[in-house]
Structure 1
Amino acid sequence: MAGIRIGGLASGMDIDQIVSDLMKAERMPLDKLTQKKQYLEWQRDDYRDMNKSLLEMDQLIFDGVLRKASFVQKTVSLSNPGALSIRNINSTADFSGTVQVNRLASAASMYSNGQSAIDPSKTMEGNGIDVQTLKIQAIGKDGNLGAAKEIKIESTDTIDMVISKINNQSDVSAYFDKATGKLSIISKNTGDIVGNSEISLDSDGNFWTAMNMDANSEAAIANNVGKGGVNASLTYNGMPIERPTNTFTINGVEFSLKAVTTEPVSFSSATNTDAIIETIVKFVDKYNSLIEKMKGELEEKRYRDFQPLTKEQKESMDEKEIERWEEKARSGTLRGDSVLSGAMNKMRLDLYSVVSGLVGKNQLAEIGIKTSSNYMDGGKLIIDQTKLKAALSENPNAVYDIFAKDGATTEEKGLGRRLRDTIKSTMLNIEKRAGKASSTNNAFTLGRNLTSIDSQINRFEDRLIKVEDRYWRQFTAMEKAIQKANSQSAYLMQQFS
């Protein structure tokens, strides 16, 4: 704790200002440490921002040119779109043919064989229904009988609560008509199970009996309180076939039946080159944007005369001056960085090299994508859309392989896979140097440097406190000596007078 400080009462000097000026000189090494810390923090943040851009590029490659679905997009023409819709799932070849819809698939259903005595306002216990487990078995999406679903009924449940449980926990939808006291059940899936019921009901209590429900849809049909499921019937390219649902897939193409027709519906497909080109354009634009950013960081000028501002310096400047100063002070944090320059060179090599193992087209130039002739662009890509469209129209699968072919070596891998490998290794190298938001300082190089600087700052601040105390002790001693001399002088003057 500092002792009593006498600020120039005897000497008439401005001791506060003198000590402050002396401490400014003493603080100069500390200011340099603080500025160095600020610069390292800027550098760390710029590295992490670069990693964010690399991650965005990685995700765009994965969701775009590496997805088979991006290259099998097709436009389908139909002579009667009101009766049928067709969507390509994974067929790489164009397709055509005819479909005549003879019958739509429908679901089995059944309802109460007479009015029940259920009071909707009462609980199961109030209606005399046991606490029990309902068992409901129904046709599945594949047209086969699914596993029985068990539903627990509590004594405190109302009929509305039971209906909700059935709808949420089984393969049927139930409805209780409070006006007639009847329960209806319909399968969630369409189709006919030959020789079996599409809906079967069981329980270890009296719920179904109380609802006057038959044991299954076959019994309900016999009692004229139900109907069976029906398969869709169609003639596909002249061949009669059946399916349990109105939506099904043939050879990677999804068909959805909408209405019965009296004559065949013709269909044909063509490669949707515009949609595929859009995917490739997004990839090229993102790559060019990344190259531009990396090139900008590597070539950004470093203004060594503009060091980060100290707190005292900021206090003497307005906001615009601070903004202009820090714009230059922060410039060039990644100038000439070896990790980024190495990544740029590797990315260029990834895209320009031939993909080995491919028959026919095996590099970007052959599908209309080449490098800019302006060396200032840093290797940006340019698309010849006419040539690219022709390549896609001829064989979209060949274009997909250029980007997405898998292989044991870099040479055998498609361009998109090569880029992802380079991006991931670059991000890992940057993380080793700058970490990520969740990293502790001792986990990466710049963090350890920042921790070291913090320790130096703390030690220097302790030293400054001691230096300032020493200055004040010295000036206080001087003030006391002057005060004592003044007192003696006054005493002598008094004696002589």
Structure 2
Amino acid sequence: MAGVQLTGLASGMDTDAIVKQLLAAESTSRTNLVLKQAATQARSDALKDVAAKLSSLKTAATALRSAGTWADVQTIESADSTKVAARTIAGAASGGHTVTVSGLARAAQSTFDYAVPGAAGSITVNGHDVALASGASLDDAVSAINSDEDAGVYAVNVGGRLAISSKTTGAASAATATGSMVSNGTTLAGADSAFTVDGVAYTRSTNVVTDALAGVELTLKGASTGTAVTVSTPGASPESIVNAAKGFVTAYNAVVDAIRQQTTEKRIPTAATTGDARKGSLFNDGGLNSVLSSLRLAISSAVPGVSSSLDQLSELGITTGTSTGGGTLNQDSIAGKLTLDTAVLRTKLDSDPSGVKKLLGGAAGTSGFAQKLEGVLEPLTQAGGVFAERTSSVASSLTSIAGSLTRFDERLASRETQLRRQFAALEVALQRNQDTLAKVTAQFA
């Protein structure tokens, strides 16, 4: 009860302490409920963590066979990218090509003396009037021209002279200016790029060319007597497949770590704190051990029907047999965790890309390793599946325990009220008896 407790005034007993001791004795079962709640919550958290990692593993397995992972790509290389850069923009014919550059495209440029106008006027740039105020400086003129999108040029102050350049390159580009503010103009005409592709001559108004070599964008950067440009044959990107394999190994090892952590942590039978009660909530759990066994079997066994020469992950460099030297397995291998030898995988991709694709499940109409593992994981991770049912059952237990704690607290509060009332009544009765005795004693006296 809140506030100052004046107890034992008549009896001389510390009734408040007595009430607390009685309530403490009755609270032992509540402590057991709290410890049970902590252990059950730990079980719920652990199951959810393992379920989440299994879902991530299923996603990683799907990536091994996905169309995105196995999509055909082409690479393109230029023997001298400082002269000719190249990139694919669509399906391009594979093979080698030779690009010779004899001239680069440039924009028309003109330079003029500039006179500050004594009255408002305008400069006509490429046939477009740009208004200038009276007394406009050269920098004012530059700013006015650059702010006018219709002028079609860039302007700059070069050593006190007005220089303008066309915003487009090519022989047809123009950079003209007329008016009382400009004079003594000098002009450098624009030019087209000139080059050959495999001996066929081209001229273009730009240095970025997309219509000379089908599916390829060429960027001309400098004169070249012959730059080799090589387009690869379309095929899956080895890097994409290696990355998918890395993601799978990481996701698988996360599952192994999570399950082993839960199934090997032992309970504390004499747990007196919630921290101790949380330990070992899934120690030696049969369901989790069964999951781990199923995964290990799927990893280690051959995939039927894909290839007689390539039907196991170990042939792609995905194994559990890493040694610490002298033939001794390291702790990760003992735990059943995977390692990936990317050199082995890349070698197989070079020598037998079709076999790798079939084994991993990326080939149309073929059920490979990815589909096999998905079949193991689906009943575990799906809605209403094994882990969903287990977590639902644990959630029901938590709800039941919470209800029991609420009812216990209500009973304990009621018990405290009852005890305090009883002791208060006792004190009142004793006080009355003492008052009566005092009166009788006084009368006899």
| TM-score past 0.5 threshold | yes
Q: Which residue of 1 aligns with 2:414?
A: 466
Q: Is the 8 A contact 2:5 2:16 kept in 1?
A: no
Q: Which residue of 1 aligns with 2:444?
A: 496
Counterpart residue identity of residue 331, structure 1 = K
Measured after TM superposition, the shift of residue 467 of structure 1 is 1.0
**Distance in 1 separating the partners of 2:376 and 2:203:** 50
Q: Which residue of 2 aligns with 1:28?
A: 28
Q: Which residue of 1 aligns with 2:96?
A: 97
Pick the aligned partner of 1:301 from 266, 277, 282.
266
Query: Do the aligned partners of residues 177 and 264 (structure 1) sit closer, same or farther apart at CA in structure 2, a change above 3 Å counting?
Result: closer
Counterpart residue identity of residue 394, structure 1 = S
Counterparts of 1:405-484 in structure 2, within 5 Å, are 405=362, 412-416=366-370, 418-419=372-373, 426-428=380-382, 429=385, 432=388, 444-484=392-432
Query: Do the aligned partners of residues 493 and 160 (structure 1) sit closer, same or farther apart at CA in structure 2, a change above 3 Å counting?
Result: farther
Q: Is the 8 A contact 2:87 2:216 kept in 1?
A: yes
**Distance in 1 separating the partners of 2:42 and 2:225:** 73
**Distance in 2 separating the partners of 1:105 and 1:446:** 74
Measured after TM superposition, the shift of residue 392 of structure 1 is 3.1
Q: Is the 8 A contact 2:320 2:337 kept in 1?
A: yes
Q: Is the 8 A contact 1:44 1:446 kept in 2?
A: yes
Counterparts of 1:349-364 in structure 2, within 5 Å, are 349-351=297-299, 352-354=301-303, 356-358=305-307, 360-364=309-313
**Distance in 2 separating the partners of 1:308 and 1:191:** 82
Q: Is the 8 A contact 1:38 1:308 kept in 2?
A: no
* 1:9 pairs with 2:9: yes
**Distance in 2 separating the partners of 1:421 and 1:458:** 44
SS at match of 1:354: coil
> Gaps spanning 5+ residues in structure 2: where?
110-123, 135-143, 179-186, 323-328
Q: Which residue of 1 aligns with 2:69?
A: 68
Measured after TM superposition, the shift of residue 38 of structure 1 is 2.8
Query: Do the aligned partners of residues 72 and 341 (structure 1) sit closer, same or farther apart at CA in structure 2, a change above 3 Å counting?
Result: farther
Q: Is the 8 A contact 1:71 1:276 kept in 2?
A: no
Pick the aligned partner of 2:197 from 219, 235, 249.
235
Q: Which residue of 2 aligns with 1:261?
A: 224
Q: Which residue of 1 aligns with 2:336?
A: 379
* 1:113 pairs with 2:126: yes
Q: Is the 8 A contact 1:362 1:402 kept in 2?
A: yes
Query: Do the aligned partners of residues 399 and 448 (structure 1) sit closer, same or farther apart at CA in structure 2, a change above 3 Å counting?
Result: same
Measured after TM superposition, the shift of residue 488 of structure 1 is 2.5
Measured after TM superposition, the shift of residue 446 of structure 1 is 3.7
Query: Do the aligned partners of residues 446 and 269 (structure 1) sit closer, same or farther apart at CA in structure 2, a change above 3 Å counting?
Result: same
Q: Which residue of 2 aligns with 1:139?
A: none
**Distance in 1 separating the partners of 2:207 and 2:62:** 33
- Greater alpha carbon shift after TM alignment, 56-65 vs 343-352: 56-65
Q: Is the 8 A contact 2:104 2:222 kept in 1?
A: no
Measured after TM superposition, the shift of residue 286 of structure 1 is 4.3
Measured after TM superposition, the shift of residue 291 of structure 1 is 1.5
Q: Which residue of 2 aligns with 1:287?
A: 252
> Gaps spanning 5+ residues in structure 1: where?
122-157, 167-171, 199-210, 213-223, 310-325, 436-443
Measured after TM superposition, the shift of residue 415 of structure 1 is 2.9
Query: Do the aligned partners of residues 364 and 63 (structure 1) sit closer, same or farther apart at CA in structure 2, a change above 3 Å counting?
Result: closer
SS at match of 1:263: strand
Q: Is the 8 A contact 2:51 2:381 kept in 1?
A: yes
Q: Is the 8 A contact 1:339 1:430 kept in 2?
A: no
SS at match of 2:13: coil
Measured after TM superposition, the shift of residue 63 of structure 1 is 6.6
Counterparts of 1:15-414 in structure 2, within 5 Å, are 15-54=15-54, 56-57=56-57, 66=66, 67-68=68-69, 79-85=79-85, 97-102=96-101, 112-114=125-127, 116-119=129-132, 163=149, 186=167, 233-236=195-198, 246=208, 257-265=220-228, 280-281=245-246, 283-309=248-274, 326=275, 328-337=276-285, 340-351=288-299, 352-354=301-303, 356-358=305-307, 360-372=309-321, 377-383=334-340, 387-396=344-353, 398-405=355-362, 412-414=366-368
SS at match of 1:118: strand
Given the two structures, how large is their TM-score scaled by the length of structure 2? 0.65
Counterpart residue identity of residue 102, structure 1 = V
Query: Do the aligned partners of residues 182 and 385 (structure 1) sit closer, same or farther apart at CA in structure 2, a change above 3 Å counting?
Result: closer
Q: CA RMSD in A?
A: 5.3
Query: Do the aligned partners of residues 376 and 175 (structure 1) sit closer, same or farther apart at CA in structure 2, a change above 3 Å counting?
Result: closer
Measured after TM superposition, the shift of residue 477 of structure 1 is 1.8
Measured after TM superposition, the shift of residue 461 of structure 1 is 1.8
- Greater alpha carbon shift after TM alignment, 335-344 vs 174-183: 174-183
**Distance in 2 separating the partners of 1:445 and 1:74:** 54
SS at match of 2:315: helix
Q: Is the 8 A contact 1:107 1:186 kept in 2?
A: no
The CA deviation string for residues 125-155 of structure 1, in whole angstroms up to 9 with x for no partner, is: xxxxxxxxxxxxxxxxxxxxxxxxxxxxxxx
Measured after TM superposition, the shift of residue 261 of structure 1 is 1.4
Query: Do the aligned partners of residues 350 and 87 (structure 1) sit closer, same or farther apart at CA in structure 2, a change above 3 Å counting?
Result: farther
**Distance in 1 separating the partners of 2:428 and 2:356:** 91
Query: Do the aligned partners of residues 480 and 337 (structure 1) sit closer, same or farther apart at CA in structure 2, a change above 3 Å counting?
Result: same
- Greater alpha carbon shift after TM alignment, 280-289 vs 38-47: 280-289
Query: Do the aligned partners of residues 159 and 269 (structure 1) sit closer, same or farther apart at CA in structure 2, a change above 3 Å counting?
Result: closer
- Greater alpha carbon shift after TM alignment, 422-431 vs 265-274: 265-274
Query: Do the aligned partners of residues 357 and 62 (structure 1) sit closer, same or farther apart at CA in structure 2, a change above 3 Å counting?
Result: closer
**Distance in 2 separating the partners of 1:105 and 1:44:** 69
Counterpart residue identity of residue 30, structure 2 = L
Task: Report how many residues are paired.
Answer: 394
The CA deviation string for residues 274-307 of structure 1, in whole angstroms up to 9 with x for no partner, is: 9975764554344234313222222322223215
Q: Which residue of 2 aligns with 1:438?
A: none
% identical aligned pairs: 25
